[in-house]
Structure 1
Amino acid sequence: MSAPRIKICGLKDAGTIRAMDGLPIHEIGFVFAPSKRQVTPETAASLIREVHALKGAGGERPLAAGVFVNAEFERLRELLAVAPLDIVQLHGEESPSLCRSIRSGLNVRVWKVFSVGESGDEAAERIRPYAGSVDAVLIDTAGGGTGKPFDWEQIEAYKAAARSIGVPLYVAGGLNPDNADRLVRDYAPDGIDVSSGVETEGQKDIHKIRLFVQKVVER
Structure 2
Amino acid sequence: MNGEENQARRTRVKICGLRDAATIRLMNGLPVDEIGFVFASSRRQVAPELAAELIDEVRQLRTPAGKAPRTAGVFVNADLMTLRDLLAIAPLDIVQLHGGESPELCAAIKTELGVEVWKTLSVTEDDQAGNSPSGEVGNGEAADGQSSGPDRLAAYRGAVDAILIDTAGGGTGRSFAWQVIDRYREAARGIGVPLYVAGGLNPDNVAGLLERYSPDGVDVSSGVETDGMKDIEKIRLFVERVKGV
**Aligned with residue 241 of structure 2, among 206, 215, 218:** 215
Match of 1:42 among 45, 49, 68: 49
Runs of 4+ in 1 over 4 A off after TM superposition: none
TM-score calculated relative to the size of structure 1: 0.98
- Structure 1 stretches of 5 or more lacking a match? none
Alignment-derived partner of residue 165 in structure 1: 191
The Cα of 1:71 is off from its aligned counterpart by: 1.3
The alignment's TM-score, normalised by the length of structure 2, stands at: 0.87
Tell me which of 19, 28, 37 is aligned to 1:21: 28
1:111 aligns with 2:111: no
* Contact in 2 for aligned 1:5/1:190 (Cα 8 Å): yes
How many residues are treated as equivalent by the alignment? Answer: 219
Match of 1:199 in 2: 225
Deviation at 1:125, TM superposition (A): 2.0
Amino acid across the alignment from 1:72: D
Give per-residue Cα distances to partners, 1:45-68, cap 9 Å, x unaligned.
000000000012522110000000
Residues 48-127 of structure 1: pairs in structure 2 closer than 5 A: 48-56=55-63, 58-118=65-125, 119=127, 120-121=137-138, 122=140, 123-127=149-153
Q: Which residue of 2 aligns with 1:151?
A: 177
CA RMSD, 1 decimal:
1.1
**Whole-angstrom distance in 2 between the partners of 1:69 and 1:116:** 16
Equivalent residue, structure 2, for 1:7: 14
CA offsets 1:49-103 (integer angstroms, 9 cap, x no match): 0000001252211000000001100000000000000000000000001000000
How far, CA to CA, are the matches of 2:27 and 2:34 in structure 1? Answer: 11
Larger Rg: 2
Which residue in 2 is equivalent to 1:131?
A: 157
Give me the whole-angstrom Cα distance separating, in 2, the residues matched to 1:124 and 1:187: 15
Q: Could you list the runs of 5+ residues in structure 2 that have no partner in the other structure? A: 1-5, 128-136, 141-148
Give the distance between the partners of 1:165 and 1:65, measured in 2 at CA.
21
